[in-house]
Amino acid sequence: MATQTAPSHEISFADFMKVDVRVGTVIEVQDFPEARKPAFKLLIDFGPVIGRKKSSAQITRHYDHASLIGRRVAAVINFPPRQIGPFRSEVLTLGFPDENGEVVLIGPDLAVPNGGRLF
C-alpha cells in the first residue's frame, strides 16, 4: 500500500506558475523493454505551437496500447529532457498512485485543445 506524506513546504503562486503543465493527446505507444521497470514510450501531440513530444511512462499496470491511443493526458513540458536507457524522454506524463503505487493518469474530463495550460 502506498503511503501519503504531508507537503514538506509551501511555495508561492509564482513558483507554481514556473511548472508548465499542458494537455496533449497520445498518438503513438510503443513497448519499452529496455526500461528497468515496465514502461511504455509515448508520443504525445501538444498542438501546433508545442508540437509532438516523447515520454517514458510506467503505466503498464492499468493501460495498454489501445486504451492510450487518443487519450488526453497532462504533462510537464518544461523539465529538461531525461535520458532513460536508449530513449530520450522530453516531457513528464502526470498521474497519481493507486493503493498499490501503480500510476493512474490524469487528464481533463471534457474536451480541451491540445497544448492548453493548467492554471
Structural class in CATH, domain 24-105: mainly beta
Query: Parallel, antiparallel, or unpaired: how do β-strands 52-57 and 40-45 relate?
Result: antiparallel
Three cell numbers, residue 6: 504531508
pLDDT of residue 60: 97
pLDDT of residue 4: 65
| Contact (Cβ atoms closer than 8 angstroms) between residue 75 and residue 53 | yes
pLDDT of residue 14: 93
pLDDT of residue 87: 97
Say which residue the cell 514538506 belongs to: 8
pLDDT of residue 8: 72
pLDDT of residue 47: 98
pLDDT of residue 3: 60
Low-confidence residues of the chain: pLDDT under 70: 1-7
- Give me the residue spans of the domains in the chain: 24-105
Three cell numbers, residue 101: 503505487
